[in-house]
Amino acid sequence: METRNPEATTDKRPLVLSITRMTIHNGPGFRTLVLFKGGPLCCLWCSTPEGQNPGHEIAIYPEKCTQCGSCVSVCPLQAISLTEETIRIDRTLCDDCGKCAEVCYPEAIKVLGHYMTVEDLIREVKKDAVLYKHSGGGVTISGGEPLQEPEFVENFLRACKEEGISVGVDTCGHVPWENIGQVLPYVDFFLWDIKHMEPEKHKEMTGVSNELILRNVQGVSERRVPLYIRIPVIPGYTDSEDNIRATCEFVRNLSSVVRVDLLPVHHLGKARYESLSRVYPIAYVSLVPDAVLQKMKQLVEFYGFTCEIGG
């Protein structure tokens, strides 16, 4: 199923990060969530930092380490060391070859990302076909940014539709319109974040301006594809009343919006940053009180939208 060498593949395939079954926050019904690696944004509050890099990455989980030392002995670059308390990887030396993960039986070291064919993916998602049928669910693809590899994604989504499986796409929207148009015939709905309405602030928080994102969501709406708009609520970044109002003003000109969801900050991704030896950028940010979220929800509903907290 898997090859570590992308040049050995017959088509350009994104790395699959994970497949999660029975999710309920990624579109209607029970859904199988397929995450791809690689994305154009680097949001300060990203909860899946391992999805940003398109290549393989080594993650470490020191609490699982048995101190056997196998990883140290096989590392060709001497990038791994053990102490009495933990395992360490010198990221300046590591080239993510994965030899350490191959000998780590307790899975204290893992390679993130693996190649799969369209046939592999279809075989996996079909295992949940009964759940889709009885819940009105299906498959949702996300990342990273799945639409960075439109040919592979188009083939996968077409195969899903041939199996009668509903398809949702969770996108940041920062891709060429041609990529979106290529998959559009097979998409039942989009999950689409609008993080901030001011281009410069958006760039400060994510690394890119929002202009392409907003232009693309307008194009999708013009083609009447259902949109679930999502507003991340990050204190000090996106949570101002002015930003919420500006977002609602923009969204009410989109004709295919099903719902506007508020996604409050959480810190569930902190351990993922640690596993990659990266600093978690918003560790200091407080959670949003329920009363504040309810007030934001009322503001969104004032503009005539159905709104849920958490998606």
At 232, list the tokens: 């991340």
Give the pLDDT confidence of 259-308 residue by residue, as tens digits.
999 999 999 999 999 999 999 999 999 999 999 999 999 999 999 999 99
Confidence of residue 2 (pLDDT cuts 50, 70, 90): very low
SS3 7: helix
- CATH numeric code, 6-54+113-309: 3.20.20.70
Is the pLDDT reported for residue 1 higher than 50?
A: no
Phi, psi of 34 (to 5 degrees): -110, 115
Give the pLDDT confidence of 35-71 residue by residue, as tens digits.
999 999 999 999 999 999 999 999 999 999 999 999 9
Q: How many CB atoms lie within 10 A of CB 144?
A: 28
Determine the Cα–Cα distance for residues 231 and 300; give it in Å rounded to an integer.
10
57-112 CATH choice from 3.30.950.10, 3.30.70.20, 3.40.309.10, 1.20.1050.10 = 3.30.70.20
Determine the Cα–Cα distance for residues 214 and 311; give it in Å rounded to an integer.
20
Mean pLDDT (the chain, rounded): 94
Neighbour-count burial for 271-301, b at 16+ CB within 10 Å, e otherwise: ebbebbeeebebeebeebeeeebeebbebbe
Determine the Cα–Cα distance for residues 88 and 74; give it in Å rounded to an integer.
15
Cite the residue boundaries of each domain of the chain with CATH code 3.20.20.70. Answer: 6-54+113-309
**How much is the pTM?**
0.92
Is the pLDDT reported for residue 257 higher than 50?
A: yes
For tokens 């979220």, name the residue: 293
β-pairing, 31-36 vs 109-112, is unpaired
pLDDT at site 234: 98
Give the pLDDT confidence of 88-137 residue by residue, as tens digits.
999 999 999 999 999 999 999 999 999 999 999 999 999 999 999 999 99
Question: By the 8 A CB rule, do 207 and 246 touch?
Answer: no
pLDDT at site 83: 85
Phi, psi of 265 (to 5 degrees): -60, 145
